[in-house]
Structures are given as structure tokens and as C-alpha cells.
């Protein structure tokens, strides 16, 4: 069945909004997730978590874990939905871990170094907190939802410190790390001092890091002059700039690293754009660019081009990303409309291979066989489609065929 058309080029200026609505219509409330909790034995307390799960039966989703979830959750859900709608990242499960309690500085720091200037009390519980994430939270998420083996870890400020610590010392836990203005000053820059050795002596193949640096400097300072600034305000940014220097100098460790300095954002406001830029960085090559020639040139091997693209994306991300079902389906019908039968057949066959539980993929393949007057195969395809899901329009075509 031909779906509402996927738009291949930006020329379709007026119509790309015409996709089927995903917003809820059956209820008055617009709901983006649930509040849940984990009774943690490791921490001996109940932990509040926020969870967003995209719709899509049979699909597997990467999981983004964000610290200080109460602050970041809603914005990330909206942002990633929007980025996905323009093919700039995959849909994701988003898990907000609440740190909005008296134990925040305990959870996010690995070493004991209380500092009243920063209201750091009861520090040093990071190891236990990561044990909670690894042994209790992740298993809960991965048994409850349909997850792809790709995890993103997001932290801001003290949370950014925990993200850096995890990348350096437990890199197996996540695939991609977003460290937003991390509190590298903690405990007399302890982690920063350890980082050069760790980054030099280890490899970080298939790991991504995005480091965001906010403008937390006194007026009149810049990222050069602040390095010699001994003032209180310089204490935040200097160790972050030093972290950046080390990361730039050790890039032979295969870590995929990018960073950005945000001149117009302070320590608090930097998080939003940082998260956006990080996701765009991780998913830089994700989007399939449909060139006009792929559709107009009858000899273009579009199914092969698509497979090659998504194999490359899968290798880069470290998990299998399949060609988008609607994109392939629509390209198939475009080819069929142009009587490019080889191309159309290959595309529809690609879809039933990738989406064997999709009734519509088999229905479309049936349409293809109908068009080339291969009624036997059309019947096989429609039969398969109906086995998966009884659909009136498929049934009608089937009955018409059987009457012949």
C-alpha cells in the first residue's frame, strides 16, 4: 500500500507536514512519558525516574540516560522527536534520572572533597551511583522496553563530571557521552590530572564524546586570557579548557571527539544547545540524502545505495540501523510509477527482508507483482500480508485476483 508520501527533497515545500499524525487524539491530555521509580538495593533508597518510549511495534530504540532528569527530560523529548522527524537522529527511549534531592553531590562525585563554596556536601558516592545505574536501572529499562544496544549518557555540571569519569573509567557502559560544562574543578582537578594517562594508554574505538564549554568568565575575559586568570570565576572554565586540550592532543586513541565553546551561554543556559549539537554530532552521517538522480535515473541501484548507506551508519553507531521502511516503500512506488520495474522490485524486496512483520511491506510487494502481471507471486505476497494483519484493501485485491 502506498503510504502518504515520504518527501525526498526539500522541494516539496508545502506538503511535508502531511504525514499521519502521531499526536494523541483519543484523549484530551498530551502525554510524553511516565514517572516511575526503582527501589535501589545498592543505594538503599527509592529513585525517581522519568521515561519516554517512542511508539513503534517491533522497533528497537537506543536509550539516552540523562542526569538531573527533572530539568532536562521534557526538552530532550521534544528535541529528539523533532530531530528524528527530519531524519537527523533515530527515535530514542529517554530516561531521566532524578538528582533533585539532598544526595545530588553525593551521587555525581567519585571522590570525597566537600567544598562549602560550591555547597558540596557528602561527596564521593559516584561509584555506588554508577553501580545503581549499571546493575539496577539499565537492566530494568532493557527488560521493560525494546532497546537497541546503543546508550547515550548526558550530564551537566557535576553530572558532566560523572559523564567524564564514566567515559574514562567505565567506557563499556555507554556508546556516546555528552559532558556539559563539567565540574572538572572537583577535588583539586583530580580527574583532569588522571585523564591524560588514561586517554593516552587506552583506545576508545566507536566511542563518542561531545564536550560543551560555557562562558562562565568574568566580563572582559576570553578563552585565552582566562587561562592566566586566578580569579574565583575562572575556576570553572580553566579545568574544562585544559580537559579539551588533552582530548585534542590524544586523538590517536580513536575517540570520536568534538567540542564547542558557547560565548553567549552561561553555565546554566548552555545545556540546551549543547544537547542539540551533541546529537547532531553523534548522528552526523545518519540521514539518507535522496538525490534526484536516484529517482529519475532508471539505472540507479537505489536499493544497493540505501543498503550501503545504512550499513555504514550501523558500523559507525555500533548497532544495526535498518533503512527506513516508509522511505523505501515510497521510493518503490515512485520507481513503479516511472515503470522502473527492476528498481521498484528490489526496493519492495528489501523492505520485506528488513521488516518481515510488516503487513504493508508485503502488500506493497504484491502491488509490484500485480503491476508486472506476475499474479502467482502477487497472491503469495497478499496472502502473507493478510496473515500478518487482516486489511480490507489487501483482502479486496486478493479476492479480485482469485476470481481471475
Q: Least Å distance between CB 183 and its own copies?
A: 6
Residue 258 burial (CB count, 10 A): 16
**Binding its own copies by CB under 8 A: which of 1, 2, 113, 118?**
118
- What track of x and - describes contact with its own copies for positions 157 through 176 (by CB under 8 A)? xx------------------
Count Cα atoms within 13 angstroms, Cβ side, for 108: 30
Task: Tell which residue, 233, 232, 237, 190, has the closest CA to residue 211.
Answer: 237
**Binding its own copies by CB under 8 A: which of 261, 276, 319, 341?**
276
Closer residue to its own copies, CB minimum distance, 81 or 196: 81
Cβ–Cβ < 8 Å for 225, 274? no
Interface with its own copies, residue 12, by CB under 8 A: yes
How far is the C-alpha of 29 from the C-alpha of 287, rounded, in Å?
A: 32
Count Cα atoms within 13 angstroms, Cβ side, for 235: 10
Stretch that binds its own copies, among 31-39, 305-313, 324-332, 336-344 (CB under 8 A): 31-39
- What track of x and - describes contact with its own copies for positions 78 through 117 (by CB under 8 A)? xx-xxx-xx-x---------xxx---xx--x--------x
3-state secondary structure of 4: coil
How far is the C-alpha of 228 from the C-alpha of 248, rounded, in Å?
A: 20
Site for its own copies in 236-275 (CB under 8 A): 236, 266-269, 271-273
**Binding its own copies by CB under 8 A: which of 6, 8, 61, 73?**
73
Stretch that binds its own copies, among 75-83, 340-348, 360-368, 393-401 (CB under 8 A): 75-83
Site for its own copies in 195-214 (CB under 8 A): 214
Site for its own copies in 218-237 (CB under 8 A): 232-233, 236
**Binding its own copies by CB under 8 A: which of 43, 64, 120, 148?**
120
Grid coordinates representing 176 are 556516546
**Angle of helix 270-282 versus helix 69-85 axis, rounded to 10:** 40
Interface with its own copies, residue 187, by CB under 8 A: no
Closer residue to its own copies, CB minimum distance, 42 or 79: 79
How far is the C-alpha of 221 from the C-alpha of 190, rounded, in Å?
A: 25
How far is the C-alpha of 104 from the C-alpha of 43, rounded, in Å?
A: 13
Cβ–Cβ < 8 Å for 211, 240? yes
**Binding its own copies by CB under 8 A: which of 76, 154, 327, 379?**
76
Closer residue to its own copies, CB minimum distance, 217 or 322: 217
Q: What DSSP state is assigned to residue 332? A: H
Tell me how many residues contact its own copies (CB under 8 A): 74
Amino acid at each position: 500500500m502506498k503510504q502518504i508520501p515520504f518527501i525526498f527533497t526539500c522541494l516539496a515545500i508545502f506538503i511535508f507536514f502531511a504525514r499521519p499524525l502521531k499526536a494523541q487524539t483519543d484523549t484530551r491530555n498530551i502525554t510524553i512519558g511516565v514517572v516511575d521509580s526503582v527501589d535501589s538495593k545498592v543505594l538503599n533508597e527509592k529513585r525517581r525516574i522519568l521515561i519516554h518510549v517512542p511508539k513503534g511495534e517491533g522497533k528497537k530504540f537506543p536509550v539516552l540516560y540523562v542526569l538531573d532528569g527533572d530539568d532536562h527530560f521534557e526538552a530532550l523529548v521534544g528535541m529528539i522527536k523533532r530531530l528524528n522527524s527530519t531524519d537527523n537522529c533515530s527515535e530514542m527511549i529517554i530516561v531521566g534520572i532524578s538528582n533533585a534531592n539532598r544526595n545530588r553531590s553525593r551521587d555525581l562525585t567519585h571522590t570525597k572533597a566537600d567544598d562549602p563554596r560550591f555547597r558540596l556536601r557528602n561527596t564521593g558516592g559516584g561509584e555506588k551511583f554508577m553501580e545503581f545505574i549499571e546493575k539496577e536501572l539499565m537492566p530494568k529499562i532493557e527488560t521493560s522496553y525494546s532497546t537497541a544496544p546503543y546508550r547515550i549518557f548526558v550530564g551537566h555540571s557535576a553530572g558532566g563530571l560523572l559523564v567524564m569519569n564514566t567515559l574514562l573509567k567505565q567506557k563499556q557502559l555507554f556508546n556516546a557521552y555528552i559532558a556539559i560544562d563539567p565540574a572538572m574543578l572537583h577535588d583539586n582537578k583530580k580527574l583532569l590530572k588522571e585523564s591524560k594517562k588514561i586517554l593516552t594508554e587506552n583506545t576508545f574505538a566507536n566511542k563518542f564524546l561531545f564536550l560543551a564549554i560555557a562562558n562562565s568568565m568574568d566580563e572582559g575575559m576570553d578563552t585565552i586570557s582566562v587561562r592566566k586568570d586566578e580569579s574565583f570565576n575562572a575556576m570553572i572554565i580553566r579545568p574544562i579548557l585544559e580537559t579539551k586540550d588533552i582530548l585534542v592532543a590524544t586523538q590517536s586513541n580513536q575517540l570520536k571527539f568534538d567540542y564547542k565553546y558557547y560565548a553567549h551561554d552561561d553555565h546554566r543556559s548552555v545545556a540546551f544547545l549543547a544537547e542539540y549539537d551533541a546529537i547532531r554530532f553523534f548522528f552526523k552521517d545518519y540521514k539518507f540524502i535522496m538525490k534526484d538522480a536516484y529517482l529519475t535515473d532508471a539505472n540507479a541501484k537505489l536499493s544497493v545505495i540505501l543498503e550501503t548507506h545504512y550499513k555504514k551508519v550501523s558500523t559507525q553507531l555500533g548497532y544495526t540501523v535498518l533503512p527506513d521502511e516508509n522511505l523505501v516503500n515510497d521510493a518503490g512506488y515512485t520507481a513503479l510509477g516511472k515503470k522502473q520495474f527492476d528498481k521498484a522490485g528490489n526496493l519492495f524486496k528489501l523492505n520485506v527482508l528488513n521488516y518481515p512483520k510488516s503487513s504493508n511491506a508485503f502488500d506493497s510487494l504484491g502491488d509490484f507483482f500485480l503491476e508486472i502481471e506476475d499474479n502467482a507471486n502477487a497472491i503469495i505476497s497478499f496472502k502473507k500480508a493478510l496473515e500478518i494483519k487482516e486489511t480490507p484493501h489487501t483482502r479486496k485485491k486478493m479476492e479480485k485476483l482469485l476470481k481471475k
